[in-house]
A and B are shown apart, each in its own frame.
Chain A
Amino acid sequence: MIFKVFPKKKLSSLYELLAYNIVVGPILKGTDRDGKSLYDFDVVYGFDELVLGYTSTIHSAKRFVLPYQENLSSFEISASDWQKNTDINVYKPLVFFGMHACDINALNKLDMVQAESVYPNPYYIGKRKSMFIIGINCTPEPQCFCQSMGTDTALHGFDLFITDIGEKYFVEILTSQAFELIKKISGKEPSQIDHQRYKHVSSQKNKLFTTTVDSSDLTKILDLEFDSKAWQIWGDKCLSCGTCANVCPTCYCYGVEENVDMDLKGATKTKTLHSCNLLDFASVAGGHNFRPESATRLKYRYYHKHRGFVEAFEEALCVGCGRCGESCLSDITPAEVIASVRNEV
Chain B
Amino acid sequence: MNRRKGDTGGAFEYAYKAEITNIYSLTQNEKLYQIQICDPDLGDRFTFKPGQFVMLELPGIGEAPFSISSSPSTTGKFELCIRKVGNLTNFLDKVQRGARVGISGPFGTHFPVEQMVGQNILLIAGGLGIVPLRSPLLAVLENRSRYGQVDIMYGAKSPEQLLFTYQYEGWRRFDINLTVTVDNADQSWDGHVGLITEIIQPRINESASLADTTYAIVCGPPVMFRSVCNMLMDAGLPMGKMFVSLERRMHCGRGKCCRCNIGSTYTCLDGPVFDYWSVMNLKEAI
Contacts and interface: CB of A to CB of B under 8 A. Distances in A.
A311 B60 contact: no
A312 B3 contact: yes
B13 interface: yes
Nearest to A312: B3
B263 A122 contact: no
The contact size tier of chain B is 35 or more
B1 A118 contact: no
Interface string B259-273: 101011100010000
Nearest to B8: A118
B30 to A, nearest CB: 13
Given A223-B283, A282-B259, A118 B6 contact: yes
Contact of A304 (B15, B17, B258): B258
B249 interface: yes
A75 B259 contact: no
Nearest to A275: B258
The contact size tier of chain A is 35 or more
Contacts of A282: 248-249, 259
A181 interface: no
A226 B249 CA distance: 23
A86 interface: yes
Interface string B36-60: 0000000000000000000001111
Contact of A276 (B9, B60, B258): B258
A75 B3 contact: no
A119 interface: yes
B86 interface: yes
B247 interface: yes
Interface string A118-157: 1111110000000000000000000000000000000000
A275 to B, nearest CB: 10
| Interface residues of B, dominant DSSP | loop
A179 interface: no
Given A75-B60, A307-B263, A84 B102 contact: yes
B4 A314 contact: yes
B255 A118 contact: yes
Contacts of B63: 256, 258, 269
Interface string B15-39: 1010000000000000000000000
Contacts of A113: 255-256
A286 B15 contact: no
A196 interface: no
A255 B250 CA distance: 9
B14 to A, nearest CB: 8
Contacts of B58: 258
B208 interface: no
Interface string B231-259: 00000000000000001110110111111
Contacts of B166: none
B64 interface: yes
B4 A285 contact: no
A116 B251 contact: no
A252 interface: yes
Most-contacted residue by chain A among B60, B102, B254 (CB, 10 A): B60
B86 A303 contact: no
A194 to B, nearest CB: 36
Contact of B259 (A72, A88, A258, A281): A281
Interface in A37-84: 72-73, 75, 77, 80-82, 84
Interface of A: 72-73, 75, 77, 80-82, 84, 86, 88, 112-114, 116-123, 223, 226, 252-260, 267, 269, 274, 276, 281-286, 290-291, 296, 300, 303-304, 307-314
14 contacts: A80-B98, A84-B15, A84-B17, A112-B4, A113-B256, A118-B10, A122-B12, A123-B12, A255-B251, A267-B60, A284-B248, A311-B264, A312-B2, A313-B2
Given A88-B13, A282-B259, A285-B249, 6 more contacts: A113-B255, A119-B12, A120-B12, A226-B283, A310-B264, A312-B2
Please list the 6 inter-chain residue pairs (A to B) with the smallest Cβ-Cβ separation, ordered nearest first. A285-B86, A267-B60, A308-B264, A260-B60, A311-B264, A119-B254
